[in-house]
Structure 1
Amino acid sequence: MDRKNQTIVSEFLLLGLSNQPEQQQILFWLFLCVYLVTVIGNLLIMLAIGLDARLHSPMYFFLANLSFVDICFSSVTIPKTLVNHIIRSKSISYVECMLQMYFFITFINMDGFLLMVMAYDRYMAICRPLHYTTVMHPGLCILLVAISWVITNLHALLHTLLMAQLSFCGDNTIPHFFCDPYPVRKLSCSDTYISDLMVFTVGGAVFITPFTCIAVSYIFIFYNVMKLPSTQGIQKALSTCGSHLTVVSIFYGAIMGIYLRPSSSYSKVDTVATVIFTVITPMLNPFIYSLRNHDMKVALQSLFLKKVILQMT
Structure 2
Amino acid sequence: MNETIISAHGLTRRYGDFTAVDNIDLDIHTGEIFGLLGTNGAGKTSTLEMLEGLAPASAGTISVFGKHPIKDRKVIRPHQAVMLQEGGFPADLTARETLNMWAGTLSTPLPVDETLARVDLQHRANVRVSALSGGERRRLDLGCAIIGQPKVLFLDEPTTGLDPESRRAAWTMLREINAGGATIVITTHYLEEAEALCDRLAIMHGGRIVTSGTLAEVIAGHHSTIEFAANAPAPAFADMTNDGNRTRVRTHNLQDDLTNLLVWARKNDVVISELDVRDASLESVFLSIADTPASPVNSPSTVNPASAHAPTSTDV
What is the TM-score when the length of structure 2 is the normalising length? Answer: 0.23
As a proportion of its length, which structure holds more helix? 1
Structure 1 length as normaliser, TM-score? 0.23
Q: Which has the higher contact order (CA 8 A, sep 6+)?
A: 1
Which structure has greater strand proportion? 2
